[in-house]
A and B are shown apart, each in its own frame.
Chain A
Amino acid sequence: MSEISFSFDDKSYKGHPGEPMAAALLRSGLLTITNSTYHGRPRGVVGLGVEEPNALVQLVSGTMESMLPATVIEVAAGLAARSLTGIGALPDHPEEARYDKTNRYVDTLVVGAGLAGLKAAEEHLRAGREVMLIDDQPGPGGHLRQLGQELPPALREVLAHKNLTYLCRCTATGLYDQNYIVAIERRSDHLGNAAPANRARIRVWHIRADQVVLATGAFQRPLIFANNDRPGILLSHAAATYVAVHGVRGFRTAVVATVDNQGYRDALRLHKAGVTVQGIYDVRPGAGGPSVDAARAAGIPVRFRATVLDTGSNTAGALDNVIIRDLDTNETIQIAADLLAVSGGWTPIVDLATHIGIKPKWSAEHAAFLVSHTTDRLRTAGMLAGDFGGDDDPSVYFGPALDEEQSRHAYIDLQRDATLHELRRAVGAGLHSIEHIKRYTTIGTAHDQGKTSGMLTIGALCQLNALSPGDVGTLSFRPPYVPVPFAALAGRERGPLSDPIRITPLHQWHVEAGAVFEDVGQWKRPWYFPEPGEGMEAAVRRECVAAREGVAVMDASTLGKIDIQGPDAAVFLDRIYTNMFSTLPEGQCRYGVMCKADGIVFDDGVTTRLGKNHFLMTTTTGGAARVLAWLEEWLQTEWPDLKVYCTSVTEHIATIALVGPKSRQLLQELVKDTDLSKAAFPFMHSREATIDDIPVRIARISFSGELAFEINVAWGYARHIWERLWALGAGYGLTAYGTETMHVLRAEKGYIIVGQDTDGTQTPYDLNMSWVVSKKKEFIGKRSFQLPHLKAAGRLQLVGLLPGNVDEVIPEGAYITVHNAGPDEQGKTPHTGFVTSSYYSPMLGRAFALALVAGGLDRMGEDVVVPVGKNLLRATICDAVFIDKENLRRD
């Protein structure tokens, strides 16, 4: 086999590509991988895979994922890692690897490609089903693979079946409702330097399977004894595999401590690989079966009713000797050994099953919690289901009785340095529940999530309280089964793809014009259009002046638009809006307000009657989806008798608002077939027309109080119309404006923005809009206006505010206090409302604001104080309409 070198803690080591890094380190004689997190004790490799509690490293090559067990990292060219004391680090240079996600719907998903999983896959394939088989190992075979054995030919055929998808290095991390499985496939780390640059490092699989078979196998358990954490103490199956399969030669003399026949099989493997096995110490009074016979035949000494009590170390901290206790006489003997292989029985991997709430059941015969849960859609197989295959015959045993001093070094959770002593303290403190004990001791909370320590905790608790594990129950396992990098879960949803960006058909024009954009929901809207050297304030003033004195244009395409048709459309709108729409003549527009059933204003906008049974509703930019959903909910679930059809046309129709005294003249140059004059085309009317043969719908709607036209045109034609306006507009000083200017203009007229001048507690009355509330009909929310609080005196009402200092724009959100009121004895200052919108008005030549003020409509002319930081700003309450109260300008 070829050898390559890799680096660990800045030293170079040799290894075979694809073997676990832990194997290579052991083979080169590195027993102590790190020091423990809290106690600083030397620690080495314990296990074979994701159950590893000690040998945690951080990748230094490649992506530098923060924490991985050396038992699962495959040796590859260019691999570099460093040891961790249980604490990872987050490098701050960007992580550039690619991560992706995919979905899969299959007939059967089998988790685990050991013998049981392969057999299950075969069965389902034979039944004509499409099967997906996933396994976290680099190859199939599970336990067989760890024994270094080949798959039987029949199972190799299964892997080649055309209806099978087999994924290795693919770990099911969570089992969720309705057979939904999330799996993580590691696709490139094992290739090291040779990994193709464009390959996703990890792929997250979202699998929905008609049937799931869990064949996840089992972890071997350690035992609790004094100083059970020294380098050189391994799970017996791991020790035998490292020695027999991976050629680890450093161990010369071994002691095997066991509670089952697995210990015998591993002892034999060690023996055959040349390790001197000093003895098998078996807690059972006797044992039989082929595994026992084979070990004995090989001449390995066996001693029953004996187990390991304590260990000693050499100067490097690694295992040096083992103290064995005779369980009947309590006599101890010391045996020199550099390997202690421990077989404490098997712990089937119940994690996935418990994710969806299945409770594993204790089987004394197996000395294990099993999941034999079977439904027509979920089955378990292999060790998880209790099929241990061999002649194990385990004893339910977790470790010898230990005195207090011994218990201080008898580790239950190696990674958390949590000992039997702490567990006893927890029980002594009055804790009984395993969950409390876990929380008191932190057992089971580290990177390995208690894969080996969980069962030991249960065992120790049983010994203390003379219970059976069945009484205690398992710890609750939570997804993910193994830690998953954040980056993998984020996948490609990063940067611009982290949330969709919505743009209008004029977006590119705005970009070219140097617009500064504002995020409004997912939309990008021009905020203002600075000229070279201009800041926001100057730009907005210029834009405002253009709209009030010349002509200005704005892209209003983000407005929500809902096409509403059907014989009952008018009746429907009467129920939805607080005001009447059935009386609206065709070809005319009306502003409407809608409330939720609780009487609180929810959205507003102008709706145009295009025909007897046809309306076009506009909503706020942010409210479009909400409003459509609202309409549908009422139609479908309350009023199925109404024949009405609602269609979102937000992205079908672009809207260009042309605003200002010169807007009519400019637009008339383009519109040849429709008379735009005041007499022929009154305010709040809508007309079909053409521009360059392009059909447009023009409406005399004004959100600024100025003479204004809204040009609605098919999305794809918008840029053309806009360019034409722009070209012609040069002679008129046509100015583009953004949302900020729109806000100033509308606030000057006292027009509200739902969500800015409302906060989810205002009725239309509070907004001084009693005129929009019909007394003649029922509508959603009307009943709530009768609730005591909604008609109480002193509610916040929308008013205007004039700052005492004409140049002082009061910050939005600032609160209004009563004249000269200071903090009370609790440090609280009573307030009487707050500022919702606040701007400088070039038209007024001063700052102004809108505010919600308690009983404000009856407080016109009152002086109030607005504390802002240390300053007390003064202002006077006034009407919310600042410009053109007579509505003369709009014509």
Chain B
Amino acid sequence: MNDTLSPGTIGRRQAAALPEQPPQLWKSVKPKKAYDAVIVGGGGHGLSTAYYLAKNHGLTNIAVVEKGWLAGGNTARNTTIIRSNYLWDESAAIYEHSLKLWETLEEDLGYEMFFSQRGVLTLAHSVSDVRSKKRNLYANALNGIDSEWLTPAEVKKLVPIINISEDVRYPVHGATYQPRGGIAKHDWVAWGYAKAASDLGVDIIQGTEVTGFDIRNNRVQGVHTSQGTIAAGKVGLVAAGHSSLLAELAGFSIPIQSRPLQALVSPLLEQVLNTVVMSGAVHVYVSQAHKGELVMGAGTDAFNSYSQRGGFHVIEHQMAAALELFPIFARAQVLRTWGGIVDIAPDASPIIGLTPVENLFINTGWGTGGFKATPGSGWVMAHTMANGRPHELNRPFALDRFETGHLIDEHGAAGVAH
């Protein structure tokens, strides 16, 4: 019976348990009166910023202030696709820097994160799709990013369960493949940074919402919070999902719209997929996580929202597309769906750098694809905060690009870019 049940894999199996988590994670503390720097937002990016501020720049009298439970925003909700094969040089540079950091991160933090370079496939489904994916490939080659072109037959070899028949509505014409891409376990990434930062003396403050800023002579002096005012020499806004609100509180506007983005998982399944598969054209983003569940990303809802839930029609559409590519998924089940709130800039690229307020820095706009940037984003944000000027890698992502018109338009590359 097992042979009819298992597509080239095993029959019933005993699952491998996850490794045990360390007995001590981070220390939760009450805020002090003053810090050299305060980071608003305890997601992956805020925590990595704190860690690199402490580690690379020796700033340890700092705090991360999180309104809810640590890393409970998009960090806890994303589909964890990691890759660096972006089109534009500016994007490729920052994501590749991030990917390089990922490659040594577990060692650096001394923390298991299930970072798995299982490769990321990006499918093309039409002649024009092939053309733009190939452009991406050539651009990557010049930027020193590993990326290959696979024919449909090669795609099939890598992912035997994929349907490459000509008869489907949008057949697979080929794919780009980044072998160094992959996935990681989101919570553990955040916890690893939190623990490492906490061990270096960073205060991690949960359940504390930043409600305003103490700004005098156009210079930030501290933050008002639900637990009182905290003085701060420097403040970094790293609050995905709420960044435009915080900017307004600080007296300036940023070009950000906040939208729900959904994802879903299946129950545990025997391994059928060892690679991450993405298809912008038919809206499928899928990987099979370490325990065995299929993790799939869906689309964004059409409208602004802070609700952390999305429309069901988005999920239904997602399933129809998934079955076209993977007929074998028909018997899988949607176990749980959820939504995060992603902050999207007009060019679908991040905004990292200075603000009109002195000593107030911002890091936002990672939209649907910032998990992969967690290490790199924190690295350059820490540099920017420590030095009061951007790192070379985030200079192009300054807020003023909307005034000069120098946008970095990753929309063209993919509607939703995980």
CB–CB under 8 A between A and B in the complex?
Answer: yes
Chain A residues in contact with chain B, CB under 8 A? 10, 35, 37-38, 40, 58, 60, 63-67, 82-95, 174, 176, 180, 182, 204, 355-357, 417, 425-426, 428-433, 435-436, 439-440, 442, 445-447, 449, 478-480, 483-487, 489-491, 493-496, 498-499, 501, 518-520, 527, 598-599, 755-756, 759-761, 784, 787-790, 811-815, 817, 823, 826-831, 834, 867-868
Q: Tell me whether A357 and B21 are in contact (CB under 8 A).
A: no
Chain B residue numbers with a CB within 8 Å of A204 are: 316
Chain A residue numbers with a CB within 8 Å of B316 are: 204, 489-491
> Once the chains are docked, how many angstroms separate the CA of A868 from the CA of B322?
33
Chain A residue numbers with a CB within 8 Å of B131 are: 756, 812-813
> Once the chains are docked, how many angstroms separate the CA of A65 from the CA of B269?
12
Chain B residue numbers with a CB within 8 Å of A490 are: 316, 319-320, 322-323, 330
A198 → chain B, closest Cβ, in Å? 18
Closest 4 pairs (CB-CB, A-B): A813-B135, A827-B144, A787-B405, A95-B330
User: Besides the contacts A92-B328, A495-B169, A828-B142, what 7 more A-B pairs have beta carbons closer than 8 Å?
Assistant: A40-B14, A88-B332, A88-B333, A95-B327, A355-B309, A480-B336, A813-B134
> Once the chains are docked, how many angstroms separate the CA of A35 from the CA of B70?
35
26 contacts between A and B (CB under 8 A): A60-B1, A82-B1, A82-B12, A83-B12, A87-B268, A89-B5, A90-B272, A91-B5, A91-B6, A176-B311, A357-B309, A425-B20, A430-B25, A430-B28, A435-B72, A439-B76, A480-B337, A486-B323, A486-B332, A519-B125, A761-B407, A761-B412, A813-B132, A813-B133, A814-B135, A815-B135
> Once the chains are docked, how many angstroms separate the CA of A84 from the CA of B336?
20
Chain B residue numbers with a CB within 8 Å of A478 are: 309, 336-338
> Once the chains are docked, how many angstroms separate the CA of A552 from the CA of B330?
46
Which residues 65-85 of B have a CB within 8 angstroms of A? 68-70, 72, 76
A487, A499, A527: the one within 8 Å of B169 (CB) = A499
Q: Tell me whether B134 and A86 are in contact (CB under 8 A).
A: no
Contacts known (A89-B6, A828-B142); A756 close to B128, Cβ less than 8 A: yes
**Interface residue? B153 (CB, 8 A):** no
> Once the chains are docked, how many angstroms separate the CA of A496 from the CA of B170?
9
Q: Tell me whether A431 and B321 are in contact (CB under 8 A).
A: no
Which residues 1-44 of B have a CB within 8 angstroms of A? 1, 4-9, 11-15, 17-18, 20-28
**Interface residue? B136 (CB, 8 A):** yes
A611 → chain B, closest Cβ, in Å? 36
Q: Tell me whether B138 and A486 are in contact (CB under 8 A).
A: no
Chain B residue numbers with a CB within 8 Å of A496 are: 169
Contacts known (A92-B161, A478-B337); A812 close to B134, Cβ less than 8 A: yes
Contacts known (A82-B1, A490-B319); A87 close to B138, Cβ less than 8 A: no
Chain B residues in contact with chain A, CB under 8 A? 1, 4-9, 11-15, 17-18, 20-28, 68-70, 72, 76, 89, 125-128, 131-139, 141-144, 161, 167-170, 187, 206, 266-270, 272, 291-292, 307, 309, 311-312, 315-317, 319-324, 327-338, 401, 403-407, 409, 411-412
Q: Tell me whether B127 and A518 are in contact (CB under 8 A).
A: yes
Q: Tell me whether B331 and A91 are in contact (CB under 8 A).
A: yes
Chain A residue numbers with a CB within 8 Å of B270 are: 87-90
> Once the chains are docked, how many angstroms separate the CA of A813 from the CA of B127?
12
Q: Tell me whether B319 and A499 are in contact (CB under 8 A).
A: no
> Once the chains are docked, how many angstroms separate the CA of A480 from the CA of B266?
11
B121 → chain A, closest Cβ, in Å? 18
B54 → chain A, closest Cβ, in Å? 18
Chain B residue numbers with a CB within 8 Å of A480 are: 334-337
Chain B residue numbers with a CB within 8 Å of A759 are: 132, 409, 412
Chain B residue numbers with a CB within 8 Å of A598 are: 405, 407
Chain A residue nearest in CB terms to B186: A439
Q: Tell me whether B142 and A817 are in contact (CB under 8 A).
A: yes
Across chains A and B, the number of contacting residue pairs, with CB separation under 8 Å, is 282
Centre residue among B18, B272, B331 by max chain A CB count within 10 A? B331
Q: Tell me whether B70 and A436 are in contact (CB under 8 A).
A: yes
> Once the chains are docked, how many angstroms separate the CA of A776 from the CA of B312?
50
Q: Tell me whether B144 and A826 are in contact (CB under 8 A).
A: yes
Chain A residue numbers with a CB within 8 Å of B11 are: 89
Q: Tell me whether A88 and B144 are in contact (CB under 8 A).
A: no
A176, A447, A761, A790: the one within 8 Å of B335 (CB) = A447
Q: Tell me whether B15 and A85 are in contact (CB under 8 A).
A: yes
> Once the chains are docked, how many angstroms separate the CA of A547 from the CA of B120?
43
Q: Tell me whether B1 and A92 are in contact (CB under 8 A).
A: no
Q: Tell me whether B267 and A90 are in contact (CB under 8 A).
A: no
> Once the chains are docked, how many angstroms separate the CA of A520 from the CA of B327?
24
Q: Tell me whether A433 and B138 are in contact (CB under 8 A).
A: no
A563 → chain B, closest Cβ, in Å? 28
Q: Tell me whether A65 and B144 are in contact (CB under 8 A).
A: no
A425, A487, A788: the one within 8 Å of B405 (CB) = A788
> Once the chains are docked, how many angstroms separate the CA of A487 from the CA of B5?
17
Q: Tell me whether B322 and A486 are in contact (CB under 8 A).
A: yes
Contacts known (A432-B28, A479-B312, A813-B132); A787 close to B404, Cβ less than 8 A: yes
Chain A residue numbers with a CB within 8 Å of B311 are: 176
> Once the chains are docked, how many angstroms separate the CA of A355 from the CA of B307?
11
Contacts known (A60-B1, A834-B138, A868-B138); A90 close to B76, Cβ less than 8 A: no
Centre residue among B330, B404, B407 by max chain A CB count within 10 A? B330
> Once the chains are docked, how many angstroms separate the CA of A759 from the CA of B411?
10
Chain B residue numbers with a CB within 8 Å of A527 are: 127
B4, B134, B268, B324: the one within 8 Å of A498 (CB) = B324
B17, B126, B134, B135: the one within 8 Å of A518 (CB) = B126
B22 → chain A, closest Cβ, in Å? 7
Chain B residue numbers with a CB within 8 Å of A784 are: 405
Q: Tell me whether B25 and A429 are in contact (CB under 8 A).
A: yes
> Once the chains are docked, how many angstroms separate the CA of A843 from the CA of B405?
41
B415 → chain A, closest Cβ, in Å? 12
Chain A residue numbers with a CB within 8 Å of B18 are: 442
> Once the chains are docked, how many angstroms separate the CA of A890 from the CA of B104?
63
Q: Tell me whether A519 and B126 are in contact (CB under 8 A).
A: yes
A432, A483, A830: the one within 8 Å of B267 (CB) = A483
Chain B residue numbers with a CB within 8 Å of A174 are: 312
A93 → chain B, closest Cβ, in Å? 7
B126, B135, B334: the one within 8 Å of A486 (CB) = B334
Chain B residue nearest in CB terms to A64: B331
B292 → chain A, closest Cβ, in Å? 6
A205 → chain B, closest Cβ, in Å? 12
B26 → chain A, closest Cβ, in Å? 6
Chain B residue numbers with a CB within 8 Å of A357 are: 307, 309
Chain B residue nearest in CB terms to A488: B319
> Once the chains are docked, how many angstroms separate the CA of A747 from the CA of B248?
49
Centre residue among B9, B206, B335 by max chain A CB count within 10 A? B335
Q: Tell me whether A87 and B12 are in contact (CB under 8 A).
A: yes
Q: Tell me whether A90 and B269 are in contact (CB under 8 A).
A: yes
Q: Tell me whether B405 and A66 are in contact (CB under 8 A).
A: no
B298 → chain A, closest Cβ, in Å? 11
> Once the chains are docked, how many angstroms separate the CA of A198 from the CA of B303?
39
Q: Tell me whether A85 and B25 are in contact (CB under 8 A).
A: no
B338 → chain A, closest Cβ, in Å? 5
> Once the chains are docked, how many angstroms separate the CA of A95 from the CA of B319?
14
> Once the chains are docked, how many angstroms separate the CA of A828 from the CA of B134?
18
B129 → chain A, closest Cβ, in Å? 9
> Once the chains are docked, how many angstroms separate the CA of A835 from the CA of B333?
44
Contacts known (A38-B17, A85-B14, A487-B323); A64 close to B5, Cβ less than 8 A: yes
Chain B residue numbers with a CB within 8 Å of A92 are: 7-8, 161, 328
Contacts known (A90-B328, A788-B405); A483 close to B138, Cβ less than 8 A: no
A40, A446, A495, A829: the one within 8 Å of B142 (CB) = A829
A91, A180, A433: the one within 8 Å of B4 (CB) = A91
B320 → chain A, closest Cβ, in Å? 4
B132, B142, B338, B404: the one within 8 Å of A788 (CB) = B404
Q: Tell me whether A86 and B319 are in contact (CB under 8 A).
A: no
Centre residue among A86, A92, A355, A761 by max chain B CB count within 10 A? A92
Chain A residue numbers with a CB within 8 Å of B335 are: 447, 449, 480, 483
Chain A residue numbers with a CB within 8 Å of B327 are: 94-95
